[in-house]
């Protein structure tokens, strides 16, 4: 039999041990020509990593999950015999397979399927055919390209959802010969990793999308600004750029069309604000990444004050598909407001966690329960956080919200870059709001007053509420500050920084009130340590003394076989007694 | 160039296409608040103060977002406002946030503790420079009677003077009196009133409050008439304060200065008797009530109505003003009840009337006495004795005349609301004090007769709004001892009257401008912070010997000479910010009521001082507008200053440890000039 | 530490980017690769060679979290506190690691072996909580497992 074995080696696969699996398989297959071993990118089923796919003549015969290096022998045996019975325990369940079946993949179309280190692999999957379509034969004019994107309805996938064609057109129309095409791969939103996955798994799709955009706006130089925290992505993209250059797909006179475009990568150095396009430009210019005032917009005065266009990775990953299949095909998917598909990074307390690409118009419930399988570990759904530090927490009552820009915006959250963090009832929403403010306060560039001091003050107020030092007036103060910062901050980071607080105030106000109740401050989720009280249920306590032994401050007293008691003044609320008790006799409130 | 037509805050404006809203506003004579803009450098957009709202973009639609005037450009037909609720709120929060992270003293503690907000540091500095007239110009911005107030004021300014943390406070009051005396003696400073407005104001009561209101309203160009029931103007300054503290010729001089501005003064006119409030309301555009508190409070003990029992103010009235006979108390025993300054005036006056024994009865101890320490000390020097921890329980008479005071013996219990330990009677313990005259000086209340239709407080004072000084009657305002919490010190009345004058002036021009306490940034300073200062003891005020002064009403204090005054003034630590008058931050901050304390939290830089050649930086006052960094790089072409760090902890820093870098600074002072606050200053020495 | 760092090692980097405007961050990244951190002298040297001022270079260097001004340990632990990791208990991991190593976030152990940084998001959210130690990523951590990994590295050092 002729076929190959593919090991998914995105960053998270590697983190789960895929490299060791690859090494073990490689050793077994060292002297065999009949079964090839390949590296592929991330299929997006992260909770099943490491994943190994068996292919027979390019046809997937089995997907093996949670593979360990020790499984290498039987995998090779199965691959050569075609008999999967020896690895039946590794084969993905039908239920888990449904994770992929319910998706529609455009941006992620090649991820986890092709070899990201191989140009041939990309070309075999149709890579650069869209570029050929516009540059060779009849070809397409830049205006036709922009029109096609306009028809597709593609909107910026980085967060703001601005129509892509409009930005391209503005940059195209801007006077000047020197123009730049920039890819924002500074995926800073904690909880989103689709851009990393695309670069690691299918870098040529990004390059092709960028070349098309460069052609459309008239740029001769394209720059990818990548997070420094993504070393594997940088490595694979660097390699892919090299391959494309060698193949004449980058550089002068591409495909003999007269269109020339050079490419380079610039590694970011750790600043979330550089996801904001003007801050990104400042950073590209070697300066502090502090946003500029708009107007002028980058399309007029961007990189080195020349017309520039910036889109994020996922946006570019859709472009070649749209050119190949036509704008209308893309626009056929989605809602009247939002076209095409969107990738989400589904994480948190969800059973199946990974990358999900779905057509716009599905509901949050479809994604979280239908694809993600609902809540992991017996808890119940409480909230989903969308859009990261710029987004918001949506409560269960809004699970049937349709995924499109407008409908999500109406909830107070945003589509954002597609982070979707699911939370169960053990999560304290006040503490979540504080988490995001900790983040934005730390990431504020410090330029404008509203953001620099405003986010700091919001964080301080939230910190004291979580620490049990809040007063009811803090809620109003927080709200006033949120609205002012949203209205007054200079850039998107500051303007959206209050969103996590505003949405939690909107949907979980009761939790804020409970935390600041002057009569009895408490954390309904039992998550804020400072607000917990531990006590012993005398009925249930068997007097085993285990809790007293575990208590680091000697706050628990009692004699053997007699109910114990916790001295609340001495208790430091570490919870060790609660964790230790085998009879459920320690009560946490 | 094509012209764009638009409005800002309703004012029609034009500008050339391509001009920013901020520039266009400036060209049209409108100042939109901004802190980080400077025309010599690129637009930055950090402060957010210049937020404007476009309520109509020329097509009837409002723009959804606030715009920054420094970068937005007006389009034809734009209706731009920076006075909308939304823009004002955005600006206010920005200022509150800035101030919540600001470490510095806008003004010294002297000024901030002065009820009238007098710029003490400012005039003390003028005195240090020997510019006495300049000093009076500053004082008269808040106090129209500086010679009088310099002598009678219990000077809260001195209590809070930071020099007190080094050794003793500056003699601020004495310096004020000295400057005023010098001014009166020579070419007296007399401000020029604005052109007549045609508006008429009646001020009822010619005491410090009424005269102050009259002075400032007259300067605004209004026609002001002061009506007073007494023979002469001056109120308590004339009839309460004894001449040995305030010579009446001096008071006459200062009052004549006010009259010289064109203030009409009518004495012997009692409201409710000679004229009614309604008549005044009919005749004038505004009426300010400032009749004070003249009724001595009763002690509610048996025997109060006996012959020989009198109130402190009643006792002082004729003697202090010189309008009455000086009673001969030779051989008499006088008991003065109370521990305040009126009690002091009464006991020291009684001594001067020849009394054989004057005893002050006070229910707590000396440490709790509200009277000024100097007054107590001088009274003791003059022979006054004290009965502490004693409270009159009964006044015992003989043939209808007072003979003895029965005193309840007290002890100090737990501290009360005022923080002082409360006196508690010791059951059954009494003592007796012989007395021919008993003076009750435990406080005064206003006499509200004649104030028909005016609403009163529970205390029986006139109820006046704290911000507008309005009473319940339209057009009628009230200030001073007459109102709200009742009798207080003269400078309180002066402060209120000054603020009231501003409100009334605005109202007469058709504007509603209620007073609110302006915000000042304040720093916490302890003695340890000032440990490096050289000790320079306070120059004592020379006084006449007690043996001499106890026989007459001539001034106790001899006054300072010029040299002493200047030496004393040079002790000033100059706590207030050098940049106060140029600081844009404080100017904008005081344009609305600000409460940065609600955002109190961590502060970025605690006033760490750094030096760069001839420039001193105080990061505590830095607002990170980046102007110094930007002018250094863009306008001076140097780039010596840089922003270090990110977010809240960002600081401006030059590379200090490297002499070769410092050498690059050629002291062009562009950074100092660009700084909108007092964070940068040139070191001149 | 700062004295005597060999600045000539920077020359090839400076030469490579001499003609490329806007390369300051890239130059600093290379500098950090060379020295493990950004020595003060190197910052001044870069300023001098690139015709800018140390204030400006410091301004850029202190803006980005990637740059360090102190040497780091042999093993640089980056513990993710992204949203997914946070929800899944990264705080507990941080507590365990700090306690075990006896350092605070940002600190380096006395033996110079470990430096701990808490970082925003490593992009491995589905394996949360996650940490990386130098190039290697470790997912699905528990406090016990995190400590085990660090002990493993330490044991390797002792053997070596």
**Cα dist from A346 to A118, A356, B595, B618, C84, whole Å:** 28, 7, 43, 49, 9
Nearest C-alpha of chain C: how many angstroms from A367? Answer: 15
Q: Domain boundary residue among B467, B489, B508?
A: B508
Looking at the structure, do residues B273 and B347 belong to the same domain, yes or no? no
- Average pLDDT, integer, range B21-25: 96
B662 at C interface, C-beta within 8 A? no
Q: Categorize the per-residue pLDDT at B291 as very low, low, confident or very high, splitting at 50, 70 and 90.
A: very high
Whether residues B433 and B331 fall in one domain: yes
Domain co-membership, C35 together with C89: no
Rounded distance between C-alpha atoms, residue A37 and residue A22, angstroms: 8
Distance of CA B375 to the CA centre of its chain: 23
Domains of chain B: total:
5
CB atoms < 10 A from the CB of B29, how many?
9
Sign of CA dihedral B10, B12, B16, B17: positive
Q: Rounded to a whole number, what is the distance in Å from the CA of B634 to chain C's nearest CA?
A: 13
In-domain check, residue B91 = no
Interval B438-457 mean pLDDT: 94
In a domain, C112, yes or no: yes
**Fold for the domain defined by A3-99:** Glutaredoxin (3.40.30)
Q: Are residues C103 and C132 in the same domain?
A: yes
Query: Are B253 and B428 spatial neighbours (Cβ–Cβ below 8 Å)?
Result: no
Contacts with B476 (C-beta within 8 Å, 6 or more apart), sequence order: B277, B281, B286, B287, B288, B289, B454, B470
User: Which residue from C52, C54, C56 is facing B658, i.e. has the nearest CB?
Assistant: C54
C35 lies in the same domain as C82: no
Number of Cβ atoms within 10 Å of the Cβ of A162: 14
C53 to chain B, any CB pair closer than 8 A? The answer is yes
pLDDT score of B379: 96
- Domain contains B543: yes
Helix (H) / strand (E) containing C12: helix C11-16
CB B539 within 8 A of CB B492: no
Q: Is B355 helix (H, G, I), strand (E, B) or coil?
A: strand
Nearest residue of C to residue A304, measured between CA atoms: C22
Indicate yes or no: CB of B601 within 8 angstroms of CB of A460.
yes
Give the chain C residue whose CA is nearest to the CA of A12.
Answer: C124
A429-516 fold? de novo design (two linked rop proteins) (1.20.1440)
- At residue B660, the pLDDT reads 56
Q: Domain holding B13: CATH number?
A: 3.10.20.740
B591 to chain A nearest CA, in Å?
A: 18
> 0.90 cut: is pTM over it?
yes
Q: Is A462 on the interface with B (CB under 8 A)?
A: no
Structural domain of residue C18, as residue ranges? 7-61
Percent of chain B topping pLDDT 70: 98
Which residue is closest to A200 within chain C, CA to CA?
C123
B421 shares its domain with B303:
yes
Distance from CA of A541 to the nearest CA of C (A): 27
pLDDT at position C2? 43
Q: Is residue C70 part of a domain?
A: no
Comparing CB atoms, the residue among B644, B646, B661 nearest residue C53 is B661
Number of other residues whose CB lies within 10 A of the CB of residue A238: 16
Asked if the model's pLDDT at residue B616 lies above 90, the reply is no
A573 cis-preceded (ω within 30 degrees of 0) = no
Is the residue at C53 inside a domain?
Answer: yes
Domain ranges (residues) in chain A: 3-99, 119-330, 341-424, 429-516, 532-588
Q: Give B518's contacts (C-beta < 8 A, 6+ positions apart).
A: B589, B590
Question: What pLDDT is stored for residue B656 in this prediction?
Answer: 54
Residues paired with residue A334 on neighbouring β-strands, in sequence order:
A339
Which pLDDT band, with edges at 50, 70 and 90, does B1 fall under?
A: low
Which distant-in-sequence residues (6+ apart) come within 8 Å of A30 by Cβ? none
Contact assignment for B101 to A444 by CB distance below 8 Å: no
pLDDT attached to residue A1? 44
A147 and A117 Cβ atoms separated by less than 8 Å = no
CA–CA dist C58, B466 (Å, integer): 52
CB contact under 8 A, B89 and A446: no
Record: contact A484-B51, CB cut-off 8 A: no
B627 to chain C nearest CA, in Å?
A: 15
**C-alpha to C-alpha distance for A569 and A571, rounded to whole angstroms:** 6
Q: Model confidence at B653, in pLDDT bands (50, 70, 90)?
A: confident
Residues B323 and B415 both lie in one domain: yes
What backbone phi and psi angles, to 5 degrees, belong to A58? 65, 15
Which residue is closest to C55 within chain B, CA to CA? B642
Q: Which of A18, A65, A188, A191 to mutate to test the interface with C (most CBs of C within 10 A)?
A: A191
Q: What is the DSSP letter of B557?
A: B
User: Which chains would you list as touching B if contact means 3+ CB atom pairs under 8 Å?
Assistant: A, C
Q: Are residues B410 and B336 in the same domain?
A: yes
Residue C158: the pLDDT is: 83
Three-state secondary structure readout of B363-412: CCCHHHCCCCHHHHHHHHHCCCEEECCEEEEEEEEECCEEEEEEEEEEEE
pLDDT at B481 over 50: yes
Rounded Cα distance, A515 and A396, in Å: 21
Are B433 and B303 contained in the same domain?
A: yes
Confidence of residue B645 (pLDDT cuts 50, 70, 90): very high
Residue B231 CB neighbour total at 10 angstroms: 11
Mutate to test the interface with B, among A452, A460, A463 (most CBs of B within 10 A): A452
**CATH number, span A532-588:** 3.30.70.20
Handedness of CA C133, C138, C141, C144 (dihedral sign): negative
C58 touches chain B (CB under 8 A): yes
Pairing label, strands C75-80, C114-119: parallel
Q: Is A496 at the interface with chain C, CB within 8 A?
A: no
Of B478, B508, B538, the last residue of a domain is B508
Residues 629-658 of B with CB under 8 A from A: 643, 645-650
pLDDT over 60 at C1, yes or no: no
Q: Mean pLDDT in runs of 10 for chain A (589 residues)?
A: 85 89 94 89 93 91 95 93 92 94 96 96 96 96 98 91 96 96 91 92 98 98 93 95 97 96 95 94 96 91 96 97 97 95 94 95 96 92 93 94 94 91 94 95 96 97 96 97 96 94 97 96 92 91 90 90 90 87 90
Sequence-ordered list of residues with C-beta below 8 angstroms from that of B431, at least 6 positions apart, any chain: B390, B406, B407, B409
Q: Are C46 and C31 in contact (CB under 8 A)?
A: yes
User: For chain B, how are helix, strand and coil distributed in percent, rounded to 5?
Assistant: 30, 20, 50
Closest residue of chain C to A355, computed from CA coordinates: C126
Domain that residue B647 falls in: 584-682
Topology agreement, domain A3-99 and domain A429-516 = no
Assess whether B460 and B475 both reside in one domain: yes
Q: What is the CATH number of the domain that holds C130?
A: 3.40.30.10
The first and second tokens of residue A59, run together, are: 């046809």
Chains A, B: CB contacts within 8 A come to 104
Q: What is the ipTM of this complex?
A: 0.92
CB B159 within 8 A of CB B169: yes
Count how many Cα atoms sit within 13 Å of the Cα of residue A333 in the half-sphere of its side chain: 22
Count CA atoms within 13 Å of residue B616 on its CB side: 13
Domain count within chain C: 2
Domain A341-424 has CATH 3.10.20.600: yes
Residue B662 has pLDDT above 80, yes or no: no
A288 touches chain C (CB under 8 A): yes
How does DSSP classify residue B252? H
Average pLDDT over residues B320-328: 93
Residue B626 at interface with chain C, using a CB cutoff of 8 Å: no
- Partner-chain contact C67 A269, CB within 8 Å: yes
Annotation: CATH topology of A119-330: Rossmann fold (3.40.50)
Query: In a mutagenesis test of the C interface, which of A19, A190, A262, A438 is the best target, namely the one with the most C β-carbons within 10 Å?
Result: A190
- By C-alpha distance, which of B675, B655, B671, B674 is closest to B663? B655
Write down the pLDDT at residue B488.
Answer: 93
A4 interface with C at CB cutoff 8 Å: no
């Amino acid at each position: 039999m002729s076929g190959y074995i593919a090991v998914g080696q995105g960053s998270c696969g590697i983190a789960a041990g895929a490299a060791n699996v690859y090494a073990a398989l490689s050793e077994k297959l060292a002297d065999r020509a009949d079964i090839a071993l390949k590296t592929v990118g991330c299929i997006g089923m992260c909770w099943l990593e490491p994943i190994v796919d068996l292919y027979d003549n390019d046809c997937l015969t089995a997907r093996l999950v949670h593979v360990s290096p020790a499984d290498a022998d039987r995998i090779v045996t199965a691959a050569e015999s075609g008999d999967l019975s020896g690895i039946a325990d590794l084969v993905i369940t039908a239920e888990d397979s449904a994770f992929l079946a319910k998706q529609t993949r455009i941006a992620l179309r090649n991820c986890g399927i092709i070899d990201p280190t191989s140009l041939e692999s990309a070309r075999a999957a149709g890579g650069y055919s869209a570029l050929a379509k516009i540059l060779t034969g009849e070809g397409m004019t830049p205006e036709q390209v922009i029109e096609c994107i306009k028809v597709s309805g593609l909107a910026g996938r980085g967060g703001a959802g601005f129509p892509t064609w409009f930005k391209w057109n503005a940059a195209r129309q801007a006077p000047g010969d020197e123009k730049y095409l920039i890819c924002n791969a500074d995926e800073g939103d904690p909880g989103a990793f689709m851009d990393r996955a695309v670069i690691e798994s299918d870098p040529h799709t990004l390059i092709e999308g960028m070349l098309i955009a460069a052609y459309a706006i008239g740029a001769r130089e394209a720059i990818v600004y990548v997070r420094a925290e993504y070393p594997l992505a940088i490595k694979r993209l660097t390699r892919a750029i090299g391959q494309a250059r060698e193949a004449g797909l980058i550089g002068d006179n591409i495909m003999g069309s007269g269109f020339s475009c050079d490419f380079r990568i610039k590694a970011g150095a750790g600043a979330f604000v550089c996801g904001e396009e003007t801050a990104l430009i400042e950073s590209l210019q070697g300066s502090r990444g502090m946003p500029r005032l708009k107007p002028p917009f980058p399309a007029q005065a961007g990189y080195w004050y020349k017309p520039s266009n910036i889109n994020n990775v996922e946006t570019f990953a859709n472009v070649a598909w749209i050119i190949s299949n036509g704008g209308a095909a893309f626009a056929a998917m989605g809602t009247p407001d939002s076209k095409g598909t969107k990738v989400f990074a589904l994480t948190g307390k969800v059973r199946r966690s990974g990358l999900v690409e779905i057509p716009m118009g599905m509901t949050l419930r479809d994604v979280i329960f239908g694809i993600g399988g609902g809540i992991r570990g017996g808890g119940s759904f409480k909230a989903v956080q969308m859009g990261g530090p710029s987004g918001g927490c949506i409560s269960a009552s809004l699970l049937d919200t349709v995924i499109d820009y407008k409908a999500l915006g109406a909830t107070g959250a945003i589509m954002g870059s597609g982070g979707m963090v699911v939370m169960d009832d053990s999560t304290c929403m006040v503490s979540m709001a504080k988490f995001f403010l900790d983040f934005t306060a730390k990431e504020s560039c410090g330029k404008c007053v509203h953001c620099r001091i405003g986010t700091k003050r919001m964080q301080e107020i939230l910190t004291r509420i979580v620490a049990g030092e809040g007063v009811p007036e803090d809620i109003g103060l927080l709200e006033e500050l949120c609205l002012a910062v949203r209205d007054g901050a200079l850039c998107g980071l500051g303007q959206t920084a209050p969103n996590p607080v505003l949405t939690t105030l909107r949907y979980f106000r009761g939790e804020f009130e409970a935390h600041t109740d002057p009569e009895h401050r408490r954390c309904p989720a039992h998550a804020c340590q400072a607000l917990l009280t531990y006590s012993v249920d005398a009925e249930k306590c068997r007097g085993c003394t285990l809790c007293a032994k575990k208590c680091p401050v000697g706050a628990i007293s009692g004699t053997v076989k007699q109910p114990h008691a916790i001295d609340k003044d001495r208790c430091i609320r570490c919870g060790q007694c609660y964790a230790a008790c085998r009879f459920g006799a320690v009560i946490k409130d | 160039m094509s012209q764009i037509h638009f409005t800002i805050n309703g004012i029609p404006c034009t500008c050339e296409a391509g001009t920013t809203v901020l520039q266009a506003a400036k060209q049209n004579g409108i100042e939109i608040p901004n802190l980080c803009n400077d025309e010599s450098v690129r637009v930055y957009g950090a402060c957010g103060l210049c937020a404007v709202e476009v309520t109509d973009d020329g097509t009837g639609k409002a723009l959804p977002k606030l715009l920054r005037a420094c970068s937005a450009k007006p389009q034809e037909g734009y209706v731009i406002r920076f006075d909308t609720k939304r823009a004002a709120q955005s600006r206010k929060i920005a200022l509150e946030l800035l101030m919540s992270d600001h470490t510095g003293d806008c003004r010294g503690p002297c000024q901030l503790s002065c009820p009238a907000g007098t710029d003490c540091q400012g005039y003390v500095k003028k005195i240090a420079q020997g510019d006495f007239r300049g000093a009076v110009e500053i004082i008269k911005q808040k106090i129209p009677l500086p010679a009088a107030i310099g002598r009678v004021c219990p000077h809260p300014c001195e209590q809070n003077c930071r020099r007190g943390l080094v050794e003793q406070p500056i003699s601020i009051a004495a310096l004020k009196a000295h400057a005023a005396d010098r001014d009166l003696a020579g070419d007296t400073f007399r401000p020029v009133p604005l052109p007549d407005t045609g508006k008429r104001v009646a001020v009822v009561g010619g005491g410090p409050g009424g005269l102050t209101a009259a002075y400032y309203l007259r300067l605004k160009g209004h026609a002001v008439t002061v009506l007073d029931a007494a023979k002469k103007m001056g109120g308590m300054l004339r009839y309460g304060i004894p001449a040995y503290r305030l010579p009446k010729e001096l008071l006459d001089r200062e009052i004549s200065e006010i009259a010289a501005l064109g203030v009409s003064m009518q004495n012997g006119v009692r409201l409710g008797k000679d004229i009614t409030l309604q008549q005044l309301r009919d005749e004038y555009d505004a009426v300010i009530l400032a009749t004070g508190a003249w009724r001595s409070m009763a002690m509610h003990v048996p025997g109060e109505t006996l012959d020989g029992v009198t109130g402190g103010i009643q006792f002082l009235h004729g003697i202090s003003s010189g309008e009455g006979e000086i009673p001969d108390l030779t051989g008499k025993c006088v008991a003065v009840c109370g521990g305040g300054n009126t009690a002091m005036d009464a006991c020291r006056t009684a001594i001067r009337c020849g009394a054989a024994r004057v005893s002050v009865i006070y229910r707590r101890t000396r440490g709790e006495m509200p009277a000024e320490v100097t007054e107590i000390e001088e009274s003791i020097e003059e022979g006054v004795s004290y009965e502490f921890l004693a409270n009159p329980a009964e006044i015992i008479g003989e043939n209808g005349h007072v003979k003895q005071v029965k005193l309840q013996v007290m002890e100090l219990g737990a501290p009360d609301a005022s923080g002082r330990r409360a006196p508690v009677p010791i059951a059954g313990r009494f003592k007796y004090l012989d007395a021919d005259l008993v003076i009750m000086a435990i406080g005064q209340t206003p006499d509200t007769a004649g104030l028909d239709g005016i609403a009163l407080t529970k205390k029986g004072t006139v109820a006046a709004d704290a911000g507008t000084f309005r009473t319940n009657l339209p057009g009628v305002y009230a200030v001073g001892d007459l109102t709200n919490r009742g009798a207080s010190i003269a400078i309180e009345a002066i402060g209120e009257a000054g603020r009231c004058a501003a409100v009334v002036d605005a109202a007469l021009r058709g504007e509603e401008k209620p007073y609110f306490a302006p915000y000042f940034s304040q720093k916490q300073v302890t003695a340890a912070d000032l440990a490096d200062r050289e000790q320079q003891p306070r120059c004592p005020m020379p006084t006449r010997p007690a043996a001499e002064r106890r026989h007459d009403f001539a001034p106790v204090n001899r006054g300072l000479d010029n040299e002493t005054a200047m030496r004393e003034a040079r002790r000033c630590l100059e706590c207030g910010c050098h940049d106060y008058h140029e600081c844009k931050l404080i100017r904008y901050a005081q344009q609305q009521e600000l409460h940065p304390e609600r955002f109190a939290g961590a502060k970025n830089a605690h006033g760490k001082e750094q030096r760069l050649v001839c420039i001193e930086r105080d990061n505590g006052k830095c607002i990170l507008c980046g102007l110094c960094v930007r002018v250094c790089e863009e306008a001076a072409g140097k780039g010596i200053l840089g922003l270090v760090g990110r977010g809240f902890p960002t600081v401006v820093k030059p590379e200090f440890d490297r002499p070769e870098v410092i050498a690059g600074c050629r002291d062009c002072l562009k950074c100092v000039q660009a700084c909108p606050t007092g964070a940068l200053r040139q070191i001149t020495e | 530490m700062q004295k005597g760092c060999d600045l000539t090692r920077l020359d090839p980097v400076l030469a490579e980017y001499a003609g490329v405007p806007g390369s300051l961050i890239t130059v600093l990244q290379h500098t950090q690769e060379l020295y493990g951190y950004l020595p003060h002298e190197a910052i001044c040297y870069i300023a001098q060679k690139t015709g800018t001022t140390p204030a400006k270079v410091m301004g850029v260097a202190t803006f980005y979290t990637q740059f360090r001004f102190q040497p780091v340990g042999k093993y640089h632990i980056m513990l993710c506190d992204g949203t997914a990791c946070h929800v899944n208990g990264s705080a507990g991991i941080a507590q365990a690691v700090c306690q075990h190593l006896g350092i605070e976030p940002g600190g380096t152990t006395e033996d110079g072996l470990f430096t701990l940084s808490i970082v925003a998001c490593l992009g491995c959210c589905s394996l949360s909580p996650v940490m990386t130690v130098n190039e290697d990523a470790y997912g699905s951590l528990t406090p016990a497992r995190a400590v085990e990994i660090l002990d493993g590295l330490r044991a390797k050092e002792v053997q070596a």
